[in-house]
Amino acid sequence: MSAPGGAPGGGGGGDADGGGGGRYGEAVFRPEQAGEGERIDFGALAYDDITLARLRALGAGPGWRCLDVGAGTGTVAHRLLDEAGVDSVLAVDRDVRFLARRAVPGLDVAEADVTAPDFAAGRGRFRLVHARFVLMHLPERERLIRTLARLVEPGGVLVLSDAVDLTSDRAGSDGTPYALAMRAMWRGLRAEIGTDVSWVPSCPGLLRDAGLTGVAAEIHVPPLVPGSPISRFWADTWQRGRAAMLATGLIDDEGLDEAIRYLDSDGCAALSAGMLTAWGRKAATGAVAP
């Protein structure tokens, strides 16, 4: 395991608006809390097939050196190696306890804070740079996108996935426990972590502004079927984020319990938050906005 570029453990205590490593994993989603790895895995199970299909369609395969930022439990890194046959993946996270559990040939693990000013220093360049459900939790995303774009080798690709909220502002969804829970979650995570998904639809433009070309994007919304990975992911996320959600005043304990039961009921008829994936290529000449 290597740890260049950024303090091990990532800049805890950072200010969501003013820099630092963000606040993910501090009050909410603490990696040391029992079951947090399983919660991340439910999210991964809901999205990994879509992510892998996109990365392979973009060419990920033999000969590729890849970087996965905020790699979580490492499911994408492992599948890039096992299924796409890439040469290597550097999996970086502010907390690598889940990544360090399973060593495989080609996988390198580094504990580092992607927001650190020297994050890119000494890492070389990658054919693929990927970050999923990471930038939405961090401050200074435009600077981070430029940093990640610099880590792409000429001809390589930067792929970013983050959440899109399809429920909170939708007319007619007001008042259902599910819609209230979703709204309370986004507002609570914003207060606790600094999480912000409002900018996600503008991600393609941010990639273009970072000097990348051939920019495109797609959205996947996994169906909310009782017992499915995405339904279990939201139920688990709401249990862990309960205090932050209640603190918004938008929902009470009873309403939250009802929303969680609803997710597991045959009567469930709602739209999950989705995943927007945007990508862009570094020109073969390597020019990127400063």
Ligand X SMILES: C[S@@+](CC[C@H](N)C(=O)[O-])C[C@H]1O[C@@H](n2cnc3c(N)ncnc32)[C@H](O)[C@@H]1O
Q: 99 or 206: whose CB is closer to ligand X?
A: 99
Least distance CB 252 / ligand X (angstroms): 26
Only one residue has tokens 């409002």, namely 198
Query: Which of these, 20, 1, 2, lies nearest to 11 by C-alpha position?
Result: 20
Q: Least distance in Å: CB of 166 to ligand X?
A: 18
**Cβ-based nearer residue to ligand X, 134 or 255:** 134
Shortest CB 68 distance to ligand X, Å: 7
Rounded distance between C-alpha atoms, residue 55 and residue 156, angstroms: 12
Q: How far is the CB of 95 from ligand X (least distance, A)?
A: 5
Helix (H, G, I), strand (E, B) or coil at 91: strand
Q: CA–CA separation, 202 vs 154, rounded Å?
A: 24
Which of 25, 156 has the CB closer to ligand X?
25
C-alpha 278/C-alpha 159 separation (Å) is 6
SS3 (DSSP) at 192: helix
Q: Which residues make Cβ contacts (< 8 Å) with residue 203, sequence separation at least 6?
A: 160, 162, 217, 276, 278
User: How far are the Cα atoms of 55, 90, 261 from residue 79, in angstroms, in the given order?
Assistant: 11, 13, 33
Phi-psi region of 277 (alpha: psi -120 to 50; beta: other; left: phi over 0): beta
Q: Which residue of this chain has its Cβ atom nearest to ligand X in the complex?
A: 72
Residues near ligand X (CB under 6 A) are 10, 21-22, 24-25, 40, 43-44, 70-72, 75, 93-95, 113-115, 132-134, 137-138
The first and second tokens of residue 260, run together, are 């969680």
CB of 70 to ligand X, least distance (A): 3
Residue (137 or 187) nearer to ligand X, CB: 137
Cα angle value 26/90/28 (rounded, 5°): 10
Residue 144: phi, psi to the nearest 5?
-65, -40
Task: Tell the smallest beta-carbon distance from residue 169 to ligand X (Å).
Answer: 22
The minimum distance between CB 165 and ligand X, in angstroms, equals 15
For residue 95, give the DSSP letter.
Answer: -
The dihedral of CA 173, 179, 185, 187: what is its sign? positive
For residues 178 and 167, the answer to whether their CB atoms sit within 8 Å is yes
CB of 236 to ligand X, least distance (A): 12
